Amino acid sequence: MNVFNRVVTTILWLALAAVVSVAAVIPLGTVAWLQTQLGRAGVLLSEWKAANPTNFLIGQIAVAITAVLLFGFLAVLEVWTARRRGVRIRTAQGGSAELDPSSVSRRLSWRLDQLAEIVTVAPTVKAKGGAVDIKLEIETAPDVDVPMKTDEVVEVTREIIEQDMGLKLGKLDVRMRYAPVDPDWVQ
């Protein structure tokens, strides 16, 4: 659903940008064209209604019902898929549990914050099927060796997720940044 939303949104934004651009360049021509098209549509609808009022009414009802069903279905899908779900854990003895992604996030924050030279940790955890996708925003001391610290963070994260919590690690994205240098520390 996410890809569908992005495609539709992109198309709508591009169309809106084109319409606004044309209207900004030739505003009077755009208004005249729009009035002409609306006049033609009005005449066409009047002819259809005069030709067969019953079919016209059936057409109106069909268009209204189709619109409500289509947009209602899309709205329900949007709300239903936006619902946060936990990730399912299976034990060796055949038991199972569901763990909330925020619990995984808190556990990662607590454990990674204990590593040397880590100032702050902001994990974002998303359950995806039987796995968790994790994005870590980490702020480190200004003098840290980033490649080594990144390897350590990845190793500890994998250990926490796969061994300690019994989850499957999906995509792991680590973003490191240095903490601001304290002027008193430099001197």
Per-residue pLDDT of the chain (187 residues; tens, 9 = 90+): 678 878 888 999 999 999 999 999 999 999 999 999 999 999 999 999 999 999 999 999 999 999 999 999 988 877 776 555 677 776 777 777 778 888 889 999 999 999 988 999 999 998 887 788 999 999 998 888 889 999 999 999 999 988 888 888 889 999 999 888 766 655 5
What is the total residue count of the chain? Answer: 187
Q: What is the pLDDT of residue 183?
A: 67
Spatial distance between the Cα atoms of 99 and 88, rounded to a whole number of angstroms: 6
Q: What is the pLDDT of residue 53?
A: 94
Q: What is the pLDDT of residue 74?
A: 83
Whether 77 and 69 have beta carbons less than 8 Å apart is answered as no
Q: What is the pLDDT of residue 102?
A: 86
Q: What is the pLDDT of residue 101?
A: 85
Whether 58 and 66 have beta carbons less than 8 Å apart is answered as no
Residues contacting residue 156 through CB under 8 Å, at least 6 positions apart: 111, 112, 115
Spatial distance between the Cα atoms of 178 and 77, rounded to a whole number of angstroms: 41
Q: Containing H/E element for 157?
A: helix 146-158
Whether 167 and 161 have beta carbons less than 8 Å apart is answered as yes
The pTM assigned to this predicted structure is: 0.55
- From residue 78, alpha-carbon distances to 1, 75, 83, 87, 186 in Å are 7, 5, 9, 20, 51
In the chain, where do the E strands start and end? Answer: 87-90, 96-99, 118-128, 131-140, 168-178
Domains, in order of start, for the chain: 2-82 (no CATH), 87-181 (3.30.70.1350)
Q: What angle do CA 137, 80, 73 make, to 5 degrees?
A: 135
